[in-house]
């Protein structure tokens, strides 16, 4: 006979679910005592069998009930233990966290992208590590052209074939080889030259513009830049002058200055008796178009390149370029922008 009380007591003392499972197999499984007794029923007389079967079933039911009961108990205490461990003290004071700010360079890139997207430019990108071919040769700057030392280049691997791009102009080549004309793109990005002082950093940011179509002229270039400068500095009138210049990849080439005046040591952009250079530009040289598999007899257009950091310094009154790259949180907290305040032309660009 099974000692029912003993079994039920063992079940009710099972420490955890796995111990309970072992007891279950032991008491009700194939080799359990109850099962053996069930097997012996056949040898009994009918009356004896009935009585014995009823009592065995009864025992089985009681054991099953005890197991289920203990299982519920164990589950409940498991949940309670978990809740106990996950307890949060809601009376603790909140930890103060510094608010993140958008860097002025990122802000200005967003502002510029927004301004140019209003007149149909899309944003393209290229790698910082460039081939010497894309950075110079394809841009009509042959091997011993003096323009190659105009840029003090960071070459990689010492073989002069791979370099850190000295301007965003190689993306002109990449973009044109990548698609079919017309092209109307701006390219913001990092650029590198061996240079470092208050107004030059070895890594800085440029924005390239490229518009190639069937009848694009210098007039379009002027209109486009006039629109951009006014929008960017958020002024109605701007004095701008195009000074003849030279770049191997444009013909004719120009540098653009904007007028400004000083008020209490601050630069006020718009009008005045002083000039500040902000970009280089020109009509894309036919050789560049040819190198980029664009037929210069059918297509032409302009390109420009400007220093983004320079523009950010001017607009937001920051006077040392190096502070941009020092990652000083106090500086960023002062000059940075609210992450939720995304610049758009219609809502206002800056604070």
Please report how close the Cβ of residue 252 comes to ligand PHE at its closest, in angstroms. 10
Those residues whose C-beta lies under 8 Å from the C-beta of residue 86, and which sit 6 or more positions away, are none
CB of 255 to ligand PHE, least distance (A): 8
**Nearest alpha-carbon partner for 32 in 71, 66, 60, 68:** 60
Q: How far is the CB of 306 from ligand PHE (least distance, A)?
A: 8
DSSP 295: -
305 near ligand PHE, rule: CB under 6 A: yes
80: Cα within 13 Å, side-chain hemisphere: 6
Q: What would the x/- binding string for ligand PHE be over residues 244 to 273, using CB under 6 A?
A: ---x--x-----------------------
How many residues touch ligand PHE (CB under 6 A)?
A: 11
Q: Which x/- pattern, by CB under 6 A, does the window 136-175 give for ligand PHE?
A: -------------------------------x-x------
Q: Which is nearer to ligand PHE, 7 or 284 (CB)?
A: 284
| From 188, 280, 301, 343, residue interacting with ligand PHE (rule: CB under 6 A) | 280
Residue range at the interface with ligand PHE (CB under 6 A); choices 39-47, 155-163, 277-285, 324-332: 277-285
Helix (H, G, I), strand (E, B) or coil at 132: helix
Query: Could you give the angle at which helices 104-117 and 308-316 cross, rounded to 10 degrees?
Result: 100
Using CB under 6 A as the binding rule, whether residue 281 contacts ligand PHE is answered as: yes
Q: How many CB atoms lie within 10 A of CB 76?
A: 10
Which residues are bridge partners to 188 per DSSP?
Answer: 207
**Spatial contact of 300 and 289, defined as CB atoms under 8 Å apart:** yes
CB of 185 within 8 A of CB of 117?
no
Query: How near is the Cβ of 132 to ligand PHE at its closest, in Å?
Result: 15
Query: What's the sign of the alpha-carbon dihedral 144, 148, 150, 156?
Result: negative
Under the binding rule (CB under 6 A), the answer on residue 304 touching ligand PHE is yes
**Residue 60 within binding range of ligand PHE, rule CB under 6 A:** no
Q: Is the peptide bond before 216 cis (omega within 30 degrees of 0)?
A: no
**H-run or E-run covering 97:** none
Phi first, then psi: give them for residue 194, nearest 5 degrees: -75, 90
Bridge-partner residues for 242, per DSSP? Answer: 256
Q: Which of the residues 208 through 227 are near ligand PHE (CB under 6 A)?
A: 208
Specify the stretch interacting with ligand PHE by CB under 6 A; choose among 41-49, 178-186, 275-283, 330-338.
275-283
Shortest separation between residue 127's beta carbon and ligand PHE, angstroms: 16
303 scored as a contact of ligand PHE (CB under 6 A) = yes
Sites of contact with ligand PHE (CB under 6 A): 167, 169, 208, 247, 250, 280-282, 303-305
């Amino acid at each position: 006979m099974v000692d029912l009380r003993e079994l039920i007591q063992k079940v009710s003392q099972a420490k955890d679910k796995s111990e309970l499972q072992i007891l279950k197999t032991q008491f009700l499984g194939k080799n359990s005592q109850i099962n053996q007794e069930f097997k012996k029923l056949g040898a009994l007389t009918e009356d004896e069998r009935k009585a014995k079967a009823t009592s065995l079933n009864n025992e089985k039911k009681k054991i099953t009930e005890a197991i289920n009961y203990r299982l519920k108990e164990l589950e409940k205490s498991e949940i309670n233990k978990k809740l106990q461990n996950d307890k949060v003290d809601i009376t603790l004071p909140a930890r103060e966290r510094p608010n993140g700010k958008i860097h002025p360079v990122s802000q200005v890139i967003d502002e510029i992208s927004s301004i140019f997207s209003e007149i149909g430019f899309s944003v393209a990108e290229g790698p910082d590590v460039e081939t010497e071919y894309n950075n110079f040769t394809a841009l009509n700057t042959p091997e011993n052209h003096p323009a190659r030392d105009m840029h003090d280049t960071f070459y990689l691997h010492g073989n002069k074939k791979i370099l850190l791009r000295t301007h965003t102009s190689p993306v002109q080549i990449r973009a044109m080889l990548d698609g079919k004309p017309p092209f109307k793109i701006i390219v913001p990005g990092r650029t590198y030259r061996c240079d470092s002082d208050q107004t030059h950093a070895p890594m800085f940011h440029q924005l390239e513009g490229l518009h190639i179509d069937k009848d694009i002229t210098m007039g379009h270039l002027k209109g486009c830049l006039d629109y951009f400068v006014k929008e960017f500095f958020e002024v109605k009138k701007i004095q701008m002058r195009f000074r003849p210049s030279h770049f191997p990849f444009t013909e004719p080439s120009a540098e653009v200055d904007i007028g400004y005046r000083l008020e209490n040591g601050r630069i006020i952009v718009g009008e005045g008796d002083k000039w500040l250079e902000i970009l280089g530009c020109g009509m894309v040289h036919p050789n560049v178009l040819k190198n980029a598999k664009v037929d210069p007899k059918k297509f032409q257009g302009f390109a420009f390149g400007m220093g983004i950091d320079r523009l950010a310094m001017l607009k937001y009154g920051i006077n040392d370029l190096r502070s941009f790259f020092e990652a000083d949180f106090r500086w960023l907290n002062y000059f940075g922008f609210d992450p939720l305040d995304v610049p758009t032309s219609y809502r206002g660009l800056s604070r």
